[in-house]
Amino acid sequence: MSRQSNRTTDSKKMNSELFTLTYGALVTQLCKDYENDEEVNKQLDKMGYNIGVRLIEDFLARSSIGRCQDFRETADIIAKVAFKMYLGITPSVTNWSPGGDEFSLILENNPLADFVELPDNHSTLIYSNLLCGALRGALEMVQMAVDVKFAQDSLRGDNVTEIRMKFIKRIEENLPAGEE
């Protein structure tokens, strides 16, 4: 590719408020289009997955990070490099399970949910579910099946926002990526 020679590794930045509000407009639209919160959560997860599947390539190219030795290293890279690069935040990695296959990302502030208050009639909406999909999609592309879900969300009155990630298995065969 001819572009490779002058490609820069730092990504271009933009105002996070436009990003936040754009995401907000999308979630609002989904809430209008679907009848219940579960469907919206599912749709957000699906969109996140599609993003993750594409994002990983951008990430590997820009970060020039190689294969991780273990799940702990993966956790660190996600928190310190990936979140920093794309959302400008660094969540902390905590609450490791004894087996080392499960951990939590604690987000002090969540750029997706800035300005947001959940109305009472959307109490089961997982507003930032796109993040889970994106993490799952990106890791799947590097042969890791991971279960990702929100354990706590400050939008729903919890003290912190916590994403729980559980390693399921290595995906042995390098299957071609499906469209969805």
Partner 1 sequence: MDTRFTRGKSTILERPLSRPKTEVSLSAFALLFSEMVQYCQSRVYSVTELQTRLAEMGQRVGASMLDVLVLREKNGKRETKVLNMLLFIKVNVWKSLFGKEADKLEQANDDDKTYYIIEKDPLINAYISVPKENSSLNCAAFTAGVVEAILTHSGFPAKVTAHWHKGTTLMIKFNESVIARDKALDGR
Residues that bind partner 1 (CB under 8 A): 11-19, 21-26, 28-30, 33, 43, 47, 50-51, 54-55, 58, 85-88, 111, 115-118, 120, 130, 154-157
Q: Are 91 and 83 in contact (CB under 8 A)?
A: yes
Q: How far is the CB of 27 from partner 1 (least distance, A)?
A: 10
CB atoms within 10 A of CB 4: 7
Q: In this complex, which beta carbon is closest to partner 1, that of residue 30 or of residue 78? A: 30
Q: How far is the CB of 170 from partner 1 (least distance, A)?
A: 26
Q: Are 150 and 126 in contact (CB under 8 A)?
A: yes
Q: How far is the CB of 134 from partner 1 (least distance, A)?
A: 8
Task: For residues 165 and 20, give the distance between their C-alpha atoms in angstroms, rounded to a whole number.
Answer: 24
Three-state DSSP class for residue 143: coil
The partner residues of 162 in beta bridges, in order of sequence, read 106, 152
Q: Are 127 and 23 in contact (CB under 8 A)?
A: no
Q: In this complex, which beta carbon is closest to partner 1, that of residue 70 or of residue 115? A: 115
Task: For residues 12 and 37, give the distance between their C-alpha atoms in angstroms, rounded to a whole number.
Answer: 34
Q: In this complex, which beta carbon is closest to partner 1, that of residue 2 or of residue 69? A: 2
Q: In this complex, which beta carbon is closest to partner 1, that of residue 20 or of residue 166? A: 20
Residues 6+ apart with CB under 8 A from 174: 143
Q: In this complex, which beta carbon is closest to partner 1, that of residue 3 or of residue 170? A: 3
Task: For residues 126 and 11, give the distance between their C-alpha atoms in angstroms, rounded to a whole number.
Answer: 29
Q: How far is the CB of 44 from partner 1 (least distance, A)?
A: 10
Q: How far is the CB of 98 from partner 1 (least distance, A)?
A: 34
